[in-house]
Copies of this chain bind each other. A is one copy, B any other.
Amino acid sequence: MAVATSDLLASARAGDKRAIARLLTVVENDAPGAREILRETYPQAGGALVLGVTGPPGGGKSTLVSRLVAAYRERAPRVAVVAVDPSSPFSGGAILGDRIRMQDRFLDEGVFIRSMASRGHSGGLARTTARVVGVLDALGTDVVIVETVGVGQEEIEVVRVVDTVALVTVPGLGDDIQAIKAGVLEIADVLVVNKADRPGADETVRDLAQMLTLGPPRNAWKPPIVRTVAATGEGVDELVRAVDRHREWAASSGERERRRADAARVEVEALLRESLVRRLEERVGSERVRRAVERVASRAVDPYAAVEELLADP
């Protein structure tokens, strides 16, 4: 391991935010040194409370996350937020408002905030997020909150890396939002109705309760529905308690180990695929792969036949 990396790790473990940020950048970009950082940190992770906060846009998630950060800071010295943003050169501007609100917490030495773009991660955003969370965990962060914007399949993959998923909705979203939410509802451990002082909160709670009964059979955990008003902080303590209860249940029931084994499987399989493709390209030459792609693109040959040809000839 390069001396620079070992120095960075020591500083990061002591809580130096600059050192943490630099390590994460290396890991996020799979830059030289990423391998070493993962080797050093991987065995030390697993102790943090890792909470995912997801849900459709407009739910006030960022404000709620700020409140959660404050609540967790009361009982833990180091809290981190990993904000997973929709990918775009534009989004840097579009979500600036949210990030600025979050910076309120930046003045607190015990709070570390990381924004991640959702594109350009070799191997997928979920994997990169898992690595970033793992490194933060290994470096001594007590609580890591992963916040996603949006409710698509990718967000579902992202929150799979956390131990507890809080799904945030608000009263009065239309049918379309209900449809989107459905996909995420299955992976939610705690349901949050934010802006619960608005009209329609009771109906939303009732709708969610009903959707839970309609869903596929669940294991022993029945997701509680918590009402919050993030703007005032109302209900945030209850949410923290609900997350604690889920965490205890997950640890004692074996659910946590199951999720972590799932995440490990995804990671190992993805790395295996990458390594195998790299080896093949070294063997047959990337030029031959490129030509196969061209022939498929011009529909001279179907993809299966092209791949068979590449693999047949040693």
* Interface size band for A: 35 or more
Q: Is the CB of B87 within 8 A of A183?
A: yes
Measured CB to CB, the closest approach of chain B to A257, in angstroms, equals 7
Any chain B CB within 8 A of the CB of A311? yes
CB under 8 Å from chain B, chain A span 223-271: 257, 260-261, 263-265, 267-269, 271
Dominant SS among interface residues on chain A: helix
Q: Is the CB of A89 within 8 A of B153?
A: no
Any chain B CB within 8 A of the CB of A16? no
Q: Is the CB of B271 within 8 A of A277?
A: no
Of all chain B residues, which has the CB nearest A41?
Answer: B302
Any chain B CB within 8 A of the CB of A282? no
Complex CA–CA separation, A56 to B214 (angstroms): 25
Complex CA–CA separation, A149 to B150 (angstroms): 12
Measured CB to CB, the closest approach of chain B to A62, in angstroms, equals 10
Measured CB to CB, the closest approach of chain B to A299, in angstroms, equals 5
Partner of A271, one of B215, B265, B307: B307
- Most central of A86, A149, A211 by chain B CB within 10 Å: A86
Q: Is the CB of B88 within 8 A of A185?
A: yes
A contact residues vs B (CB 8 Å cutoff): 35, 38-39, 42-46, 57-58, 85-91, 93-95, 97-98, 118-119, 125, 149-156, 174-180, 182-183, 185-186, 211, 214-216, 257, 260-261, 263-265, 267-269, 271-273, 275-277, 279-280, 289, 292-294, 296-297, 299-307, 310-311
Q: Which 8 A-B pairs have the closest CB atoms?
A: A152-B152, A57-B176, A90-B182, A264-B297, A42-B302, A153-B154, A276-B276, A94-B179
